[in-house]
Structures are given as C-alpha cells and as structure tokens.
Amino acid sequence: MVDTAQLFSTEVTDAVAEADVDTAADMGPIGSADAPDAPVVNVGALSRQLLGTWAEARLAARELTARPEMQRIEGLSMDEHRTRVFGQLKILAAEGQVHRAFPRTLGGFDDHGGNIAGFEELVTADPSLQIKSGVQWGLFGAAVLHLGTAKHHDELLPPIMDLRVPGAFAMTEIGHGSDVARIGTTATYDTEAGEFVLHTPFRAACKDYLGNAAKDGVAAVVFAQLISQGVSHGVHAFYVPIRGADGALLPGIGGEDDGLKGGLNGIDNGRLHFTNVRVPRTNLLNRYGDVAADGTYSSPIASPGRRFFTMLGTLVQGRVSLDGAATAASALALTIAIRYGSERRQFTAGSDSDEEVILDYQRHQRRLLPRLATTYAHTFAHDEFLVKFDAVFSGAADTDEDRQDLETLAAALKPLSTWHALDTLQEAREACGGAGFMAANRLVGLRADLDIYATFEGDNNVLLQLVAKRLLTDYSRSFAKAGFGVLARSAVRQARDRAYHGSGLRSLAQTVVDFRSTARSVGALRHPDVQRALLTDRVETMIAEVAAKLRPATKLPTKQAADLFNSQQNELIEAARAHAELLQWEAFTRALDATADAGTRQVLTWLRDLFGLGLVEKHLAWYLIHGRLSAQRAQAVTAYIDRLNARIRPHALDLVTAFGYSPEHLRAPIATGIERERQNEARDYNRNLRASGTAPVAEKSTTKR
C-alpha cells in the first residue's frame, strides 16, 4: 500500500517549500494568453502528438470521411439510411481502407494497430458506418481470421474482404448477453453425416441485435455449444450460410428485423434462430478446437476455461475500437461546444453594453474544460492501449500474460471512455443551448448513436467486474508464496495504516504542513508524485479492503461464497474504475514527459493536473473518510481546479483545434464561425445605434427615485 503520508510529510513538503514563490503566483490573478510570459501552444506539434502512433492511418481515414458521399445525411428514413450505409461499405472495400489487418497474402497489410486507428475515425462520418464496417471486417471477418485456419482464410476471407459476402457475428443471445459461456445454441456433431447440426432449443437462445442479420448478411459466424460423442466442449464458432442468392433466409433459419432503434439506424440489426441447420464439419473454425471425422475432439489448449477465454480474447479488438471511437466522439463534441462557447455572447457583466462570451463564465468553464482534460487523458491512454494490442496481434508480444493484460486493459478503458462520451455529448449539447438540440449541429445524433456503446462488446459494469477479479487475483498472488515474515509485515503495515489514517494523525500532519495556507495546500497537490500517490493509494486500499472481506469465501459453501462476493460487487466495480482512472492519469503523464515544446508542456501540465485533481474532487468523500486528505487540503482541491480552468481558458481553442478535425468532419454550423458573425453584427448595430443618438432610453433610467 502506498504510504502517501510519507510523501506528504517529507518529499512533497520539501518540494512545496522550494516552490513557494511559484505557488503564490499560481494563486494570484489570472493573466490573458496575450501576456508576455504566457505559454503558447504549438498546435501543429500537439496535433501530431494526439494522432498517436498510427498518425498516417488516421489521416488517411480522415481524408476519406471528409468526402460527402461517406457522411451521414440527417433525416433519412431507416430504410434509406441502411441503403446509404451499405453503399458506403462498398466504397470502403474498394478503397482497401478496411483491409489493413488481413494477411498480406490476401491483399492486406498485417497492420493491426493501423487498422483499428483508421477504423475508429469512421465515427466522424457516421457511427452507423463505423459499426457496420466493424461488424463486417472487425467481427465477422476477424472471427474467420483469428479462429479459423489456413483453409478458412483462403476460401472464406477474400469474399468477406471485398464484400461479396456480407456477414453477421452471431454471439449474443436474448438470455445470455455478456455471459457468453452459457449461451444456449447447440452444434451437435453427426458422425454418420459428417455434419454439425445447429439448433436453437428455446426462445432465450435466439441470437439477437446482430448487425447485417436483418437484411444484408448472407452468412454468419455462429457461436454455439459444441457437442460431440455426448460431451459438450463449450462454446465454439461455426461459419454458417444464412441467405440464398435471392436474399431469402435458407431452410431451417428464421429471423426477424429488430426495426427502429434509439440510434445506429443505418445498421440492419436483426434476430436469428436455427432449427436443425446442418453445416459441414469443416465449417467449424478450428484453430483452438477441432472434431475429427469420427467425432473425436482435440484442442491445443487442454483447459476448457482457458480455451474459451483464449478464443474470446482474439476478438478483443471490438473493445479496443470502441474505446478509440468514443474518445473521438468526445473530441468532436468538445470542439463544437468550445468553438461555440468562444463566440456566443450572453448577458452583460463587465460592460454596460457588450455581452460576455459564455466560455468566460466560470460555470461554463467548469462544464467543458474538465471534460476536455479527461478527453486528452483518454486519447493518450488509448494510443498506449493500441500499441499493446498491436504487439499482441502482430506476435511481437503474444504470451498468455500479454493477452491477459490486453483483455484487462480493454475491460478497464472501454467503460470509462464510452461513459465519458455520453456524458460529454450531453453536457456539450446543453452548453450549446437550443442550437445544440438542432440535428444539424450533430450533438443529439451522436449522443443517440453512441448510447449503445456502453453495453455492446460487453456491458460496462460487467467489464469492470472482470478487471476487479484480475486485481484481486494479482493481489492474492502477491501473498501466495510469501513467508510468515512477509505476511506479518503486511499485517503490521495495514494496522499502522488504519491507526495513522483513522486517528486524525494524517489530518494533523497535513494541517501542520499547510499552516493554514491554501497556497501550501495547492503546492502539494500540484506535485505529480502526490497525485500519483493519491490515485494509487485509493486503488490499493479498495482492493485490500475487499480482499479482506472476501477472504472467508474460500471456506464457505458455494452459495454462501457467491452471496459474500455479491455483497462486495459494487466496491469491486468502483475499485476497477479507480484502477482505470489511474491508468489514464499515468498515460497522460507519460505523454506530458514526451512533449518537447515548453509552452505546450506547460498548458498540458495544467490540463493533466485538472484531470488528476478532478478525479480527487470526484472521490473527495472517500479521501476524507479514509483520512487521506485534511479538510484544508480538500478545500484546496476545488479552489485550484477553478484556478486551473481559468488558466486553461485562453488556450481552449488551441486545445480543441489540435484534435485536427476540419469543418468537413465537424459539419456543425455553430462551429464554423457563423456565431461570431452574428454576434459582431449585433454589436455593430447596437454600437452604431448608440453613436447616432437615436437609441431609445431604457425605462429604468427615467424612473424617478
């Protein structure tokens, strides 16, 4: 457990003493960005940094999404939208943009990271296009690539790549969404016929919410319980034709159109079910499990559990891409809202005549700038995530531990970025008032389309529970081979920690250090080691507390052990969220260290501090209850966040411009400068009217007192 008390009382206290002059200045009046000593953001260099490791792939995708024929048209009917998006898929196939991850022998590039980087950018054109292309090449095609063998690749991938065979990814069932291991669809091997018989035994086993299933798909990768010689070998994937040349469903296959949804209506989601549908034995995608002609099952992975998670792990790219696409949507929303907020004027405050730009109001800054800081954190974390993904899928770092780390990272980051996108889109919409509610300005459409991102490719809460279980496993392993001395020292440390933080000694120590000085409180909080310690300590303490409460589970009957685990589920999920937040703060800090330009680095430091201290403020009750912060320092958190917002405000336009989205990507009239033109016209009119001497007199100025 991190000893943040020591950090506060020694290292950071010294750092604060050395920085007293800077700290005092930090608490002083805010200067404008035009001041002689004000930092200047190198927008070009920052934009290149934000593009990340696969900058060229992103730029190529953005060039494509800037074309009108690739973009969403608001107001289309569901059928018209579906037709348009399917036509756009044909353009993607012709351009080869979606083939990066496929083998070079088939016309691909074996570029897994670049493929995801480019794919994520499709969200700027139309989220329906992004997701439908993801279904075709990122799920359906990727399942054949990663779960099939050379024969499947040679026969099945070429028509998938060029869209001659549009396909569905049939995993999700009505009765078992995130619990894939318990899906009900069966694939029973018939030894005499040499075929698998796929069957939907009950309604809850129907495959649902499947992209391409309602209209366009002619084949599907179907996940089912493989049964051979009376033994169930768990979930495996099968290539199954579902429609004939006439577009009708094949015999034994039933289906329904899911119809109008809350968003993503350019995708033909539908339901499929199977009644004794037969496919050849060779249609089993058999990289991790095979059935011989005589029905004998074999697998290179002996453990059924490990085999299952290995197969699902090969499909982790869906979560990777959602993390990046959600972050891109947040960047789009903030670019629109901050540009509008920098031009829109309302209410007179410092002038009797000129209205104020709304982004100059403290509350407006509080609404948008912390979300901007979080979006930067997500952007930097995602690039590191993508590098990890590419290393695993390219084979550069493809051990079991690497794959487990990747899956845990995906389960940690995807929930935070998708929730953040929904929150940011809603706040940006409100911050733009009635203009934000107009479909032409895109915020409401993006909000509706991204709503489902929080639950597909894994419900966010379920994913965080997976992260928490990994954290608990790692925590328990740290003591698995520990001798009595290590365990004793751990017990003493935990007892000391409880005594120190619980007795008020922590608060007393901080009060002495602060000496009733907000500046000193801020000085400590600005120190990156303190921010790191606060965020790390919260994760480790939460995991340790839950682990202690769950320790008796190993000696309890199954039902009681499950009940005990369930009683800690909320705490586990919160610990996992805290872990993901720490990962993002660390990624932001590494990006900051890699920033060469001094002015940019200064502004990014403020932005990183805004993100880090925003997390502390968000969880302030925890820090106070657990004695990690004194009341004095807790007050300083909020005070300094307001100070940071004001410092970042002059650079807000540069920071969103650095995202690199052109007017063709934004396609929001309120982000084109039109609002500035309107405001200037109004100001010129009123100024000329006052100068003419013909302006009417306000009633209250004529009232006698």
For residue 132, what is the domain's CATH number? Answer: 1.10.540.10
Structural domain span for residue 359: 318-657
- Looking at the predicted structure, is the pLDDT value of residue 501 above 70? no
Mean pLDDT of 464-491: 69
Q: What is the pLDDT of residues 374-419, one digit of tens each?
A: 999 999 999 999 999 999 999 999 888 999 999 999 999 999 999 9
pLDDT of 483 strictly over 70: no
DSSP state of 33: T
DSSP 256: E
pLDDT-based confidence at 477, cuts 50/70/90? confident
Task: Work out the mean pLDDT of the chain and round it to a whole number.
Answer: 88
Q: Is the pLDDT of residue 121 over 70?
A: yes
pLDDT at 4 over 60: no
CATH code, domain with 642: 1.20.140.10
Please indicate, yes or no, whether residues 185 and 324 belong to a single structural domain of this protein: no
Residue 182 lies in a domain: yes
Q: Judge if 449 and 556 occupy the same domain.
A: yes
3 has a pLDDT exceeding 50: no
Going by pLDDT thresholds of 50, 70 and 90, the confidence category of residue 354 is confident
682: in domain: no
Helix axes 569-593, 460-480, angle to 10 degrees: 90
Helix (H, G, I), strand (E, B) or coil at 162: coil
The per-residue pLDDT for range 327-345, each reduced to its tens digit, is 999 999 999 999 999 988 8
Of the residues 309, 336, 359, which one is the last residue of a structural domain?
309
Closest to 81 (Cα-Cα) out of 15, 127, 112:
127
What span, in angstroms and rounded, lies between the C-alpha atoms of 572 and 658?
Answer: 37
Rounded CA-CA distance 243/253 in Å is 9
Q: Please indicate, yes or no, whether residues 485 and 581 belong to a single structural domain of this protein.
A: yes
pLDDT at residue 520, rounded to an integer: 57
Identify the pLDDT of residue 684: 84
Strand blocks (E) in 111-218: 167-170, 186-190, 195-199, 207-210
Whether 467 and 582 map to the same domain: the answer is yes
Whether 1 shows a pLDDT value over 90: the answer reads no
Instruction: Assess if residue 602 is contained within a domain.
Output: yes
Name the band, by pLDDT with cuts 50, 70 and 90, for residue 25: very low
For residue 490, give the 3-state DSSP assignment: helix
**Mean of the pLDDT values across residues 272-301?**
98
Mean pLDDT within 350-373: 88
Mean pLDDT for 185-209 is 97
Element (H, E) at 561: helix 558-567
Average pLDDT for residues 120-146, to the nearest whole number? 97
Confidence class for position 244, pLDDT limits 50, 70, 90: very high
- Range of weakest confidence among 187-196, 539-548, 591-600: 539-548
Residues 294, 442, single domain; the answer is no
> Which has the higher per-residue pLDDT, 489 or 424?
424
Rounded to whole angstroms, how far apart are CA atoms 460 and 142? Answer: 22
pLDDT-based confidence at residue 503 (cuts at 50, 70, 90): very low
> What's the CATH number where 228 sits?
2.40.110.10
- Residues 276, 341, single domain; the answer is no
Residue 522's pLDDT is 67
Quick one: 274 and 355 in the same domain? no
pLDDT at 480 over 60: no
Please provide residue 199's backbone torsions phi and psi, each rounded to the nearest 5 degrees.
Answer: -150, 140
Tell me the mean pLDDT in the region 593-619.
97
- Higher pLDDT: 703 or 545? It is 545
Please check the confidence at residue 516 and state whether its pLDDT lies above 90.
no
Question: Count of domains in the chain?
Answer: 3
- Structural domain includes residue 678: no
Contact 413, 385 (CB under 8 A): yes
Per the annotation, the verdict on 384 as an active-site residue is no
Of 9-18, 57-66, 307-316, minimum mean pLDDT range: 9-18
Q: Is the pLDDT of residue 438 over 70?
A: yes
For 461, the token pair is 């809460």
Q: Is residue 493 part of a domain?
A: yes
Question: What does the alpha-carbon distance between residue 290 and residue 455 come to, in Å, rounded to a whole number?
Answer: 32
pLDDT confidence of 31, banded at 50, 70, 90?
very low
Per the domain annotation, does 448 fall within a domain?
Answer: yes
For residues 355-380, give the mean pLDDT.
95
Amino acid 609: pLDDT: 97
Give yes or no for a contact between 433 and 542, defined as CB atoms under 8 angstroms apart: no
pLDDT in tens, 554-590: 888 989 989 998 999 999 999 999 999 999 999 999 9
User: Quick one: residue 264, left, alpha or beta (phi over 0 = left, psi -120 to 50 = alpha)?
Assistant: left
- Do 398 and 467 lie in a common domain? yes
% of the chain exceeding 90 in pLDDT: 73
Pair 241, 344 in one domain: no
Ranking 144-158, 174-188, 231-245 by mean pLDDT, the lowest is: 174-188
Q: Are residues 561 and 598 in the same domain?
A: yes
Domain boundary among 103, 136, 161: 161
Average pLDDT over every residue of 280-296: 98
Flag whether the pTM goes above 0.75: yes
In a domain, 488, yes or no: yes
Residue 21 has pLDDT above 80, yes or no: no
pLDDT for residue 432 is more than 50: yes
Range name among 104-113, 166-175, 374-383, 630-639 with the lowest pLDDT average: 630-639
Co-location of 201 and 338 in the same domain: no
3-state secondary structure string, 262-274? CCCCCCCCEEEEE
Residues 6+ apart with CB under 8 A from 454: 415, 418, 419, 422, 460
Domain boundary residue, one of 657, 678, 700: 657
Residue 696: inside a domain, yes or no? no
Q: Which of 173, 427, 457, 574 is catalytic?
A: 457
Q: For residues 74-79, give the mean pLDDT.
A: 96
- The residue-averaged pLDDT of 75-92 equals 97
pLDDT at 27: 42
Residue 652: pLDDT over 80: yes
**pLDDT score recorded for residue 389:** 96
> Lowest-confidence range among 281-290, 362-371, 422-431, 542-551?
542-551
Window from 445-454, 526-535, 684-693 with minimum mean pLDDT: 684-693
For position 675, what pLDDT does the model report? Answer: 83
Residues 531 and 615 placed together within one structural domain of the fold: yes
3-state secondary structure of 701: helix
Stated length of the chain: 705
Q: Is 32 helix (H, G, I), strand (E, B) or coil?
A: coil
Report how far residue 200's alpha carbon sits from residue 170's, in angstroms, rounded to the nearest whole number. Answer: 12
